């Protein structure tokens, strides 16, 4: 992860950042992380965040397109969950860029802040 990312990877990380780059979608991701690993039913997400069904569906599609969330059907319900692997990749990329490949930030500044 500390190695130089490819052009394609940079584009992918940019798309992932863009997917988390709206208030609505960042809240969705946070909610799904809090409910990890079970996730939440779409309707419950919408109710919690006050987002109309069709709007929510579009946001979830965007997050799914970037593989930041996964979905599984359970009868009429669609359970959405955060994709921890993808988030780990993104976090690893940002960490590497800031702390490892370059020394702009001390690793401890992140890790110890969160103890």
Partner DNA sequence: TTTATAATTCCAAAAGTGTAGAAATATAGA
Partner DNA sequence: TCTATATTTCTACACTTTTGGAATTATAAA
Q: How far is CA 71 from the centre of its chain?
A: 14
By CB under 7 A, what part of segment 89-108 binds DNA? none
x/- track of binding to its own copies for residues 47-86 (CB under 8 A): -----------------------------------x-x--
Of the candidates 93, 95, 114, 115, the one whose C-alpha atom is nearest the C-alpha of residue 106 is 95
d(CA 100, CA 5): 13
Helices (H) and strands (E) in the chain, counts: 6, 3
Asked if 55 is part of the footprint of DNA (rule: CB under 7 A), the reply reads yes
Q: Binding residues for its own copies, per CB under 8 A?
A: 1-2, 10-11, 13-15, 17-23, 25-27, 29-30, 33-34, 36-37, 82, 84, 87-88, 90-92, 94-105, 107, 109-111, 113-115
């Amino acid at each position: 992860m500390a190695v130089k990312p490819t052009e394609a990877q940079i584009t992918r990380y940019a798309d992932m950042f863009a997917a988390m780059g709206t208030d609505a979608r960042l809240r969705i991701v946070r909610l799904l992380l809090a409910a990890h690993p079970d996730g939440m039913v779409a309707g419950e997400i919408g109710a919690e965040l006050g987002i109309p069904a069709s709007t929510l569906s579009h946001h979830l599609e965007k997050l799914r397109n970037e593989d930041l969330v996964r979905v599984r059907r359970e009868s009429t319900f669609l359970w959405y969950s955060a994709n921890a692997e993808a988030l780990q990749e993104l976090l690893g990329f940002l960490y590497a860029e800031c702390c490892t490949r370059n020394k702009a930030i001390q690793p401890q500044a992140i890790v110890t802040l969160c103890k």
